[in-house]
């Protein structure tokens, strides 16, 4: 059994895998890390490997206590990935983006793929049919957009994600919701359409915490899977075992 851990900017997600099957999912805060993992290992004593991808401020040292009972694998830019990194600054590519690109290559072989990860930030990653990682884009996610409007203006309120009543906002709050939500949807569809101009056929993978909210509203056909990063971690681990 394998325990995959994704340390994001705001929370930690985890999943226990038996080969390619997800046995159970977990979500918890960074302050709960040690206790939560200890509890998971008690429930699933057959877990032998722990694989971690982190974009947060936790490092491998935070997992040293677990090395007595299982093998800890911390994904880094030094690992071998199943794609050719064509990024101009390859070592600056975020681990989360590298893992997602790996999952796209391993899950959807021999085709163009666009991975859209909608979380604290929204990232776009494109890998062509020859497994070349070409890059993508990074922009603010929903929470950052709401916070920016509140923090950098004098009177706009801080709102939480909510579907606008109409694209024409008839109040300040509805105008904010329309701007944030419709702005994000138009951005994503716009990026997809821009890729379509250059690549006639490709698979679109939508993942991240806002997957469900966005999937219902996008015009383009997508493969939506909020757990794609954790599944990609599992696939990448199996790839590493085979290619080490």
Triad 30, 36, 40: Cα angle to 5°: 140
Query: Other C-beta atoms within 10 Å of 190: how many?
Result: 10
Rounded to whole angstroms, how far apart are CA atoms 2 and 186?
Answer: 38
Element (H, E) at 238: helix 228-243
CA 27 to chain centre: 14
Rounded to whole angstroms, how far apart are CA atoms 222 and 200?
Answer: 15
| From 96, 117, 131, 210, the catalytic residue | 96
Residue pair 126/195 in contact by the 8 Å Cβ criterion:
yes
- Tell me whether residue 20 is one of the annotated catalytic residues: no
Query: Which residue numbers are catalytic?
Result: 96
């Amino acid at each position: 059994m394998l325990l995959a851990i994704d340390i994001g900017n705001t929370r930690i997600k985890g999943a226990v895998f038996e080969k390619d099957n997800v046995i159970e999912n977990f979500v918890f805060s960074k302050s709960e890390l040690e206790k939560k993992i200890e509890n998971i290992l008690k429930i699933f004593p057959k877990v032998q490997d722990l694989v971690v991808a982190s974009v947060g401020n936790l490092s491998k040292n935070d997992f040293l206590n677990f090395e007595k009972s299982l093998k800890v694998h911390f994904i880094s830019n030094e690992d071998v990935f199943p794609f050719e990194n064509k990024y101009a600054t390859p070592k600056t590519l975020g681990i989360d983006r590298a893992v997602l690109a790996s999952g796209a290559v391993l899950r959807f072989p021999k085709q163009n793929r666009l991975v859209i990860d909608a979380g604290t930030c929204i990232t776009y990653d494109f890998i062509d049919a020859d497994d070349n990682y070409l890059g993508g884009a990074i922009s603010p996610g929903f929470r950052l957009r709401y916070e920016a409007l509140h923090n950098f203006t004098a009177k706009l309120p801080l709102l939480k994600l909510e579907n606008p009543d109409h694209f024409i906002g008839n109040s300040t709050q509805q105008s904010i919701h329309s701007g944030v939500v419709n702005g994000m949807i138009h951005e994503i569809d716009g990026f997809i359409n821009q890729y379509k101009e250059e690549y006639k056929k490709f698979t679109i993978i939508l993942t991240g915490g806002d997957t469900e909210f966005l999937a219902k509203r996008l015009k383009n056909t997508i493969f939506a899977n909020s757990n794609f990063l954790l599944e990609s971690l599992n696939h990448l681990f199996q790839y590493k075992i085979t290619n080490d």
